[in-house]
Amino acid sequence: VDRPPPQLRFTAYDLADPAIAGSALQGAFQRLSSAAAQLMAGRRIAEQGSVSTGSTPAGLQITIGVGERVIRAAGATLPGPMAPIPPFPGEDLDAAASGGDLAISVCGDDPLLTSSAARALGTLLAAWFRPRWTRSGFLPAATEPGSTPRNLMGQLDGTDNPAGARQDLAVWVAPGADVAWMADGTYLVCRRIRMKLAAWDGLTTAAKQRVIGRELVSGAPLSGGTEHSTPSFTALDAAGTPVIPADAHIRLSHPAHNAGATMMRRGYSYDDGYLPDGQPRAGLFFQAFQTDPRATFVPIQRRLASTDALSAFTVHETSALFAVLPGASQGGFVGETLFLG
Ligand code: HEM
């Protein structure tokens, strides 16, 4: 799995006017699609002004997703996987920073360019969409290509993401498997998850490792080996206790214990300073791509929320679900399949 760019600027928008629909809405996607293509090709767009002058706009990745209202406004069939994400025990959701009609994720190597590209796209869309919430995120500067990024709890996060054909199967909607307009698209669940870092930092390394089921520094499963060794969930210690505990995060979330359900996680760390009570306002902007959240994110999170040892150290504060649009055809635009009728 390629390592994602270290900077993220995610913006969720609402339709500026509920009357925007059909061909008026199509115009927004045509402009957005060509601007995103320009930016990803390393070119500037007029809306950036002079911010990017003298910079190398390398490595921009732009992902576009739509929410239920845009799907309806375009006249497209609402896919079953867009069923609302249900509530889970222990969460504390901020409605204003959840949901949204359109999502644009801009990732890049350079924080200035990532910010400027994201804002330029918002400027370009102002006649159609108003910003609803935004999220900036970061990954450690890569030391080795292909290495797994570490999160603010100090864990290697992303080790057991699916790769190759397994990833394709887990992420991309196969033609005929869902509504026609989503063929080769994917569904994105976003959750801003605050980490109770003061409590976490107070644990011993051994306790931290038991929460996840992996070694903190190497990322190796507690059953032995190296980072990418297959965990053994049946291995016992001398006392006959499972070495990967019954409530360990990787045991409860592993496909083997979830009827094969597999998602592709792309979390970014965030740090917004402190809450009024002095606790860090920091954590993980969790993103998971999958073919159907009803069969992946929802059942897995239901189980994690009630039994995962990690849940004592996290609070889910926002939630959003978007249909990530398939790529454009030759000469077409991202979102074209929404408007086919
Ligand atoms: C702040 C919250 C979270 C943190 C810090 C966290 C951290 C981790 C870590 C360190 C691993 C092991 C390394 C890896 O394979 O990536 C992992 C694995 C995993 N996590 Fe999380 N996670 C969080 C939330 C979630 C949520 C909300 C879900 C889904 C509902 C989830 C699903 C998974 C899955 C599917 C795996 C791979 C399991 C396997 O195949 O071994 N995680 N997570």
How do the pLDDT tens digits run along the chain, 341 residues long? 467 899 999 999 999 999 999 999 999 999 999 999 999 998 889 898 877 666 666 679 999 999 999 999 999 999 999 999 999 999 999 999 999 999 999 999 989 999 999 999 999 999 999 999 999 999 998 778 789 999 999 999 999 999 999 999 999 999 999 999 999 999 999 999 999 999 999 999 999 999 999 999 999 999 999 999 999 999 999 999 999 999 999 999 999 999 999 999 999 999 999 999 999 999 999 999 999 999 999 999 999 999 999 999 999 999 999 999 999 999 999 999 999 86
**pLDDT on residue 58:** 67
- Cross-strand partners of 156: 150
Instruction: Give the ligand 1 atom nearest the CA of 213.
Output: 12
* Inter-residue contact 47 to 121 (CB < 8 Å): yes
**pLDDT on residue 265:** 98
What residues flank ligand 1, with Cβ below 6 Å?
151, 153, 155-160, 191, 193, 195, 212, 214, 249-250, 253-255, 263, 265, 283-284, 286, 297, 300-301, 304, 310, 314
Task: Indicate the Cα dihedral angle 65, 294, 7, 137, nearest 10°.
Answer: 110
Residue closest via CA to ligand 1's atom 42 equals: 253
Q: Quote the pTM value.
A: 0.97
In 10 A of CB 20, how many CB atoms? 18
CA count, 13 A, side-chain hemisphere, 335: 27
CA of 341 to the centre of ligand 1 (A): 39
Find the distance separating the first CA and the last CA of the chain, reported in whole Å.
36
How far apart CA 113 and CA 7 sit, in angstroms, is: 10
What amino acid positions are annotated as catalytic residues? 157
Look up residue 312 and give its two tokens.
Answer: 């004592």
Distances (CA, A) of 230 to 95, 163, 223, 267: 39, 14, 9, 22
**pLDDT on residue 20:** 96
Report which secondary-structure segment, H or E, holds 24: helix 22-40
CA of 287 to the centre of ligand 1 (A): 11
CA of 265 to the centre of ligand 1 (A): 8
Site of tokens 């045509």: 30
**pLDDT on residue 1:** 44
**pLDDT on residue 59:** 76
How far apart CA 22 and CA 18 sit, in angstroms, is: 12
Site of tokens 């026609």: 180
